């Protein structure tokens, strides 16, 4: 049997995930000699031995890779024999461009949990246990290469036993950068509401657990930031949290110990995609339908038919759930709309007056990362918020091109950097109007630029000149490009599906700045990353008070009725208790009443007219409740006219509003109104898509925009368009809401670079 020596290079997520020890074991098992080393591009291997063994080695490199690794390209070629006597792990080289990938934060693994629950193990109940296959990554790494000295673990010197694990290629903690134990690693402490430490280590934990059981609100430092934790069965305690946090009604996430506990609370089955998502290493919050007799307090998610469930992911969470509390509300540690707190002092200050005490630790969090949220819609798991566990995992693109930064929109902001054929989308950053969020926005851009060595040659921002992201982009010393919001939605949806287009983009949304200075949001765009044509849109109607109308659906309802009927408004029950005069005057005199084609506002108007809530407590609340009352699409539809105007097809909002008004006056049940309204929208957008196909011969439809979080509308359109022979593409990697904007912007920018 002849011997050969092969030089092998491996790209992908192959650093900080136990790849080199894995290579070492493979080589040993096949009697190969040579070495493996981390390089700026990934991992380089030279292996010498029998050809059959080398071939087998190559297959195993991809097929048996450790759980966190994502093997990209493997390139091998024969080189002269060196006859070295053994296989060795070499230390990292640090020069040159770095394109290796940093893994997201990963939930504690089974092997670590087994030790964690073993009274004989030296890490028994140690809240910071981790290994090469699990633990924090993205939130603790400050620089590359990914080495302990470049993480927030730098200050902890490993003890003898930990160092031996770290140095031993056969150990499952070989080069686990956050490796530690009770003797050498981070510690818990408990700090009272007034900011003084009251306990340490085990005592801190047991006090926190006792206080949770007694209904207190405990701020808990986790992986990507602080949570506010409270007993999910204690309505009074939750109400207190809501009041203090300024979060009246928006559903709160709940953490339960395991899948069987989740099954008692929500409709789940073992074969379910939802269960799979819940238990996945990303450990997102998964939305699932409430079960009768769930036993949690109504205050967790009042008026909502689902719970946001999550399983423990930090070892500390397992300990908190062992103290007799069945389920914990675990909501982001912030005041409403602010980003999540990450530093101890910062948390004690910013959460003062909310938390009764603080369960802290001294492992630093470099970058905040909220929990991710997923939902099961249209037959698969989709992301509502892509954050911890997913970021900064790259999204594969169909094409390669220049380095570009997309800075996103204003709400639900994310940023996205393109390099080669990969898109690096940040974690969820939040509402940029908030100063703290704006700081995290800037930090996230520099973090991604540093970790992946990206220096963008173009920065792409929203067309809205006042968005803080747009203004930031203008201040950088890099060329910029402004992109229309809904064009970015379309491009993002195509890009993550590796579709080139052109497509019919049905983009249903809250608000985006249009090229005609009106607010768009109910658009049918034909196009791709190169450009678009506004083929059709909802009629633009006045929004009295602008943003103020978003909080008060009754205002939009009045304005839309006025547009549909003129001065002779029909008398609908919802108007009885309202002061209609001032709003109607505003609309008539066109005072502070920007025109909008927003689909979100249309939902608001119909919700208010049909007796839904007149003032909302959180974004989308009126629309969510309207959808819940329907349960399914209607057999009958409210008719909605379409007519040509300004070189496009206008969808008559006024005809829909008249149909709804008539139904309300005729005493139709709200549930039926909602069914017919949803079915009417599905019908009219299908009709417009048919028209576009006929005229332009385009058969692909892309669905994007925050309104598609509405599962009736999404499933309805996917079904009907599919049966009509369209190829329908929808988001799965990124949310359909504004979390996807940064990718769309970057893709459009890259295309612009190509076209010069």
Alpha-carbon span 415 to 421, nearest angstrom = 17
Alpha-carbon span 600 to 620, nearest angstrom = 8
Residue with tokens 């939605």, as numbered in its chain: 489
Q: Which is nearer to Fe ion, 449 or 523 (CB)?
A: 523
CB of 180 to Zn ion, least distance (A): 5
CB of 173 to Zn ion, least distance (A): 8
Alpha-helical (H) ranges within 590-669 are: 599-609, 621-630, 653-665
At 354 the three-state DSSP class reads coil
CB of 412 to Fe ion, least distance (A): 8
CA dihedral 628, 633, 636, 641 (to 10 degrees): 90
CB of 160 to Zn ion, least distance (A): 8
Q: In this chain, which of 36, 131, 329, 701 binds Zn ion, going by CB under 5 A?
A: 131
Q: Which is nearer to Zn ion, 316 or 526 (CB)?
A: 316
Task: Check: CB of residue 207 under 8 Å from CB of residue 344.
Answer: no
| 538: partner contacted, choices Zn ion, Fe ion, none (Cβ within 5-8 A by kind) | none
Task: Check: CB of residue 409 under 8 Å from CB of residue 440.
Answer: no
Restricted to residues 677-706, the positions that interact with Zn ion (CB under 5 A) are: none
CA–CA distances in Å: residue 701 to residues 440, 528, 704: 35, 11, 10
| Residue 84 is a binding residue for Zn ion (CB under 5 A) | no
Tell me the pairing of strands 458-462 and 253-255.
Answer: unpaired
| Residue 431 is a binding residue for Fe ion (CB under 5 A) | no
- Which residue(s) pair with 374 in the sheet? 286, 383
Contact stretch for Fe ion (CB under 5 A) within 43-51, 362-370, 504-512, 713-721:
504-512
Alpha-carbon span 552 to 545, nearest angstrom = 10
CB of 634 to Zn ion, least distance (A): 51
| Residue 106 is a binding residue for Zn ion (CB under 5 A) | no
Could you count the other beta carbons within 10 Å of the beta carbon of residue 477? 5
Which residue, among 255, 242, 448, has the nearest Cα to 335 in the 3D structure? 242
Q: x/- string (CB under 5 A) for Fe ion, residues 641-680?
A: ----------------------------------------
Alpha-carbon span 426 to 430, nearest angstrom = 11
CB of 269 to Zn ion, least distance (A): 28
Alpha-carbon span 381 to 726, nearest angstrom = 22
| 209: partner contacted, choices Fe ion, Zn ion, none (Cβ within 5-8 A by kind) | none
Could you count the other beta carbons within 10 Å of the beta carbon of residue 715? 16
| 738: partner contacted, choices Zn ion, Fe ion, none (Cβ within 5-8 A by kind) | Fe ion
Alpha-carbon span 609 to 56, nearest angstrom = 68
| 181: partner contacted, choices Zn ion, Fe ion, none (Cβ within 5-8 A by kind) | Zn ion
Restricted to residues 60-99, the positions that interact with Fe ion (CB under 5 A) are: none
CB of 681 to Fe ion, least distance (A): 17
Q: Which is nearer to Zn ion, 319 or 714 (CB)?
A: 319
| Residue 184 is a binding residue for Zn ion (CB under 5 A) | yes
Restricted to residues 10-39, the positions that interact with Fe ion (CB under 5 A) are: none
Strand arrangement of the beta sheet that strand 416-419 belongs to: 395-396, 422-425, 416-419, 404-406, 458-462, 480-483
Q: Which is nearer to Zn ion, 153 or 541 (CB)?
A: 153
| Residue 134 is a binding residue for Zn ion (CB under 5 A) | yes
Restricted to residues 700-739, the positions that interact with Fe ion (CB under 5 A) are: 738
| 298: partner contacted, choices Zn ion, Fe ion, none (Cβ within 5-8 A by kind) | none
Cβ neighbours for 332, distance < 8 A, ≥ 6 positions apart: 225, 226, 227, 228, 340, 370, 371
| Residue 410 is a binding residue for Fe ion (CB under 5 A) | no
DSSP letters, 676-696, are: HHHHHHHHHHHHHHHHHHHHH
DSSP letters, 543-555, are: -TTTHHHHH-HHH
CB of 170 to Zn ion, least distance (A): 16
Q: In this chain, which of 159, 193, 259, 753 binds Zn ion, going by CB under 5 A?
A: 159
Q: Which is nearer to Zn ion, 112 or 714 (CB)?
A: 112
Q: Which is nearer to Fe ion, 509 or 604 (CB)?
A: 509
Task: Check: CB of residue 327 under 8 Å from CB of residue 307.
Answer: no
| Residue 112 is a binding residue for Zn ion (CB under 5 A) | yes
Contact stretch for Zn ion (CB under 5 A) within 112-120, 208-216, 312-320, 734-742:
112-120
Q: Which is nearer to Fe ion, 215 or 594 (CB)?
A: 594
Which residue, among 247, 410, 252, 213, has the nearest Cα to 336 in the 3D structure? 247
Question: How many residues sit in the footprint of Fe ion (CB under 5 A)?
Answer: 2
Q: Which is nearer to Fe ion, 496 or 738 (CB)?
A: 738
| 184: partner contacted, choices Fe ion, Zn ion, none (Cβ within 5-8 A by kind) | Zn ion
Q: In this chain, which of 275, 370, 371, 509 binds Fe ion, going by CB under 5 A?
A: 509
Q: Which is nearer to Zn ion, 114 or 669 (CB)?
A: 114
CB of 130 to Zn ion, least distance (A): 6
Closest residue by beta carbon to Fe ion: 509
Alpha-carbon span 61 to 23, nearest angstrom = 7
Contact stretch for Zn ion (CB under 5 A) within 129-137, 204-212, 233-241, 590-598:
129-137
| 183: partner contacted, choices Zn ion, Fe ion, none (Cβ within 5-8 A by kind) | Zn ion
| 707: partner contacted, choices Fe ion, Zn ion, none (Cβ within 5-8 A by kind) | none
CB of 408 to Zn ion, least distance (A): 33
Which residue, among 59, 65, 45, 56, has the nearest Cα to 5 in the 3D structure? 45
Q: In this chain, which of 8, 45, 101, 109 binds Zn ion, going by CB under 5 A?
A: 109
| Residue 183 is a binding residue for Zn ion (CB under 5 A) | yes
| 232: partner contacted, choices Zn ion, Fe ion, none (Cβ within 5-8 A by kind) | none
| Residue 168 is a binding residue for Zn ion (CB under 5 A) | no
CB of 407 to Fe ion, least distance (A): 14
| 509: partner contacted, choices Zn ion, Fe ion, none (Cβ within 5-8 A by kind) | Fe ion
Q: Which is nearer to Fe ion, 436 or 509 (CB)?
A: 509
| Residue 17 is a binding residue for Zn ion (CB under 5 A) | no
CB of 156 to Zn ion, least distance (A): 8
Cβ neighbours for 567, distance < 8 A, ≥ 6 positions apart: none
Alpha-carbon span 695 to 687, nearest angstrom = 12
In terms of C-beta distances under 8 Å and separation of at least 24 residues, what long-range contacts does 522-526 make, across chains too? 522/597, 522/598, 522/599, 522/602, 522/651, 523/486, 523/597, 524/649, 524/685, 524/688, 524/689, 524/692, 525/486, 525/487, 525/490, 526/502, 526/692, 526/696, 526/698
| Residue 604 is a binding residue for Fe ion (CB under 5 A) | no
Alpha-carbon span 352 to 356, nearest angstrom = 8
Longest Cα–Cα distance in the chain: 95
Contact stretch for Zn ion (CB under 5 A) within 74-82, 175-183, 310-318, 702-710:
175-183
Tell me the pairing of strands 404-406 and 458-462.
Answer: parallel
Per CB under 5 A, residues contacting Zn ion are 109, 112, 131, 133-134, 159, 162, 181, 183-184
Q: For binding to Fe ion (CB under 5 A), which residues are involved? A: 509, 738
């Amino acid at each position: 049997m002849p011997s050969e020596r092969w030089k092998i290079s491996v790209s992908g997520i192959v650093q900080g995930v136990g790849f080199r020890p894995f290579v070492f074991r493979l080589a040993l098992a096949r009697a190969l000699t040579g070495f493996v080393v981390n390089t700026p591009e990934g991992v380089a291997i030279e292996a010498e031995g029998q050809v059959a063994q080398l071939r087998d080695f190559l297959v195993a490199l991809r097929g048996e890779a450790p759980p966190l690794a994502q093997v990209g390209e493997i390139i091998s070629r024969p080189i002269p024999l060196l006859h070295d006597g053994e296989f060795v792990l070499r230390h990292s080289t640090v020069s040159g461009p770095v394109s290796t990938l940093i893994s997201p934060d990963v939930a504690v693994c089974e092997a670590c949990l087994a030790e964690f629950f073993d009274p004989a193990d030296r890490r028994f109940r140690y809240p910071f246990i981790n290994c090469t296959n699990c633990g924090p990554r993205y939130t603790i790494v400050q620089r590359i290469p990914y080495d302990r000295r470049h993480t927030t673990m730098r200050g902890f010197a490993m003890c003898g036993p930990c160092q031996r694990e770290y140095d031993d290629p056969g150990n499952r903690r070989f080069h686990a950068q956050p490796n530690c134990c009770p003797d050498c690693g981070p510690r818990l402490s408990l700090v009272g509401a007034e900011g003084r430490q009251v306990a340490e280590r085990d005592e801190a934990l047991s006090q926190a657990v006792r206080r949770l059981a007694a209904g207190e609100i405990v701020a808990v430092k986790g992986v990507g930031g602080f949570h506010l934790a409270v007993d999910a069965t204690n309505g009074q305690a939750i109400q207190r949290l809501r009041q203090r946090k300024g979060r009246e009604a928006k559903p709160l996430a709940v953490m339960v110990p395991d899948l069987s506990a989740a099954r008692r609370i929500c409709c789940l089955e073992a074969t379910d995609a939802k269960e799979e998502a819940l238990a996945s290493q990303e450990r997102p919050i998964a939305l699932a339908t409430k079960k009768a007799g769930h036993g949690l307090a109504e205050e967790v998610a009042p008026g909502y038919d689902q719970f946001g469930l999550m399983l423990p992911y930090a070892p500390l969470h397992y300990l908190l759930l062992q103290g007799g509390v069945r389920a914990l509300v675990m909501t982001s540690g912030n005041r409403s709309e602010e980003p999540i707190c990450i530093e101890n002092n910062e948390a004690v200050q910013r959460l003062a007056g909310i938390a009764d005490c603080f369960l802290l630790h001294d492992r630093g969090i470099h970058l905040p990362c909220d929990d991710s949220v997923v939902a099961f819609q249209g037959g698969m798991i989709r992301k509502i918020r892509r954050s911890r566990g997913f970021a900064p995992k790259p999204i594969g693109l169909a094409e390669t091109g220049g380095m570009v930064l997309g800075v996103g929109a204003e709400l639900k902001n994310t940023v996205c950097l393109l390099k080669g054929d990969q898109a690096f989308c940040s974690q969820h950053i939040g509402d940029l109007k908030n100063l703290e969020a704006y700081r995290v926005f800037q930090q996230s851009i520099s973090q991604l630029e540093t970790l992946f060595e990206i220096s963008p040659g173009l920065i792409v921002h929203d067309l809205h000149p006042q968005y803080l992201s747009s203004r930031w982009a203008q201040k950088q010393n890099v060329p910029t490009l402004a992109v229309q919001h809904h064009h970015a939605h379309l491009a993002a949806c195509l890009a993550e599906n590796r579709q080139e287009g052109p497509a019919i983009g049905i983009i249903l949304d809250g608000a985006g700045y249009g090229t005609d200075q009106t607010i768009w949001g109910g658009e049918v765009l034909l196009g791709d990353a190169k450009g678009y044509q506004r083929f059709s849109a909802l009629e633009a109607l006045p929004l009295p008070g602008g943003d103020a109308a978003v909080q008060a659906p009754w205002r939009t309802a009045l304005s839309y009725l006025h547009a549909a009927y003129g001065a002779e408004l029909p008398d609908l029950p919802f108007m009885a208790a309202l002061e209609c005069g001032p709003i109607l005057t505003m609309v008539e005199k066109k005072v502070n009443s920007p025109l909008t084609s927003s689909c979100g506002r249309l939902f608001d108007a119909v919700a208010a007219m049909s007796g839904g809530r007149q003032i909302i407590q959180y974004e989308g609340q009126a629309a969510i409740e309207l959808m819940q009352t329907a349960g399914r699409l209607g057999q009958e539809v409210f008719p909605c006219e379409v007519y040509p105007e300004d070189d496009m097809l206008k969808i008559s909002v006024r005809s829909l509003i008249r149909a709804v008004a008539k139904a309300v006056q005729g005493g139709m049940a709200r549930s039926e109104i909602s069914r017919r309204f949803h079915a009417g929208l599905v019908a009219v957008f299908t009709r417009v898509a048919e028209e576009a196909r006929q005229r332009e011969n385009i058969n692909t439809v892309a669905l994007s925009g925050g309104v598609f979080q509405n599962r009736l509308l999404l499933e309805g359109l996917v079904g009907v368009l599919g049966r009509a022979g369209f190829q329908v593409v929808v988001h799965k990697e990124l949310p359909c809401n504004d979390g996807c904007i940064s990718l769309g912007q970057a893709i459009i920018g890259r295309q612009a670079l190509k076209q010069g």
